[in-house]
Structure 1
């Protein structure tokens, strides 16, 4: 009799977990669809889950999509969630990856990152000019560890980052957990050399935010 009761309890528990799991998958799908329509469902709850349980969310998301898609969804979410807060800030930094440079770039790496000399071999110079006109301090960095140093030294109110999907997501996630509004622009082509970003879209966003 006790064994039968325990089996019933076990079946009920498994059923509850199964229903909860599939409900969570459904919420992820609905949330993604609404995000594409420029809407957020339970934004504060979604932010808490994305900030605190992103590794678990990634594992669940892999059942219905790819890792890269998860990062893109996360970036879209952070962009949408922090857009209004970002617009209210004044002390901002723009973080550009050094891999956007031309392979024959003559600029040198310094303690503050790569110092652009505006040689016109790539579009970084054009981006920097627009960014500075719109109040950004610009850093061209060789790695994500630079971001932590910049935060410590500059103490910016907001950060705009350009990077591959994975690095950009984790950078925005870290900033979110610190309460710093961020915006991100994913690379169109990554690979750590000769990477590519939509310059026109980036410049438009830098001007509009």
Structure 2
């Protein structure tokens, strides 16, 4: 949210969980499914997070252009991409379907459990 004074890009746990944006809900999913959550405001930060965290897979939320280039940049890591919603135009208070993120998380984790 552009009006939020709390910056979560480097430390998502700074979120006050006020509910004015989706970060609170994403944090709840992160805790429920025991997965890491990171927030990046663009491709450069996203790539740095990938290098630092070294994840096994990524569920990414971004606009079409950033998501496409991010998936290409992280090959061979598996990336599940979810387009963000932009009711206020590009790069301004973007939104995400929490239900869609949870559905992808549940599918990925159940698939991994059955492979184990």
TM range (shorter): 0.7 to 0.9
Alignment of 1:10-159 (within 5 A): 102-109=1-8, 112-114=10-12, 115-159=14-58
The residue aligned with 1:90 is none
User: TM-score, normalising length from structure 2?
Assistant: 0.77
The residue aligned with 2:62 is 163
1:151 Cα deviation after fit: 2.1
2:22–2:95: 8 Å Cα contact kept in structure 1?
A: no
1:198 Cα deviation after fit: 2.1
2:83 to 175, 186, 194: 186
Count of aligned pairs between the two proteins:
105
Which structure features the higher share of helix residues? 1
> Structure 1: where are the runs of 5+ without partners?
1-101
**Structure (1 or 2) with the larger CA radius of gyration:** 1
> Structure 2: where are the runs of 5+ without partners?
109-116
- The root-mean-square deviation of aligned C-alpha atoms, in Å, is 1.9
Query: Partners in 2 of 1:122 and 1:150 — Cα distance?
Result: 21
Larger mean CA deviation between 163-172 and 140-149 belongs to 140-149
2:47–2:70: 8 Å Cα contact kept in structure 1?
A: no
Query: Partners in 2 of 1:121 and 1:154 — Cα distance?
Result: 27
Is the aligned partner of 1:200 residue 2:102?
no
2:42–2:66: 8 Å Cα contact kept in structure 1?
A: no
User: TM-score, normalising length from structure 1?
Assistant: 0.46
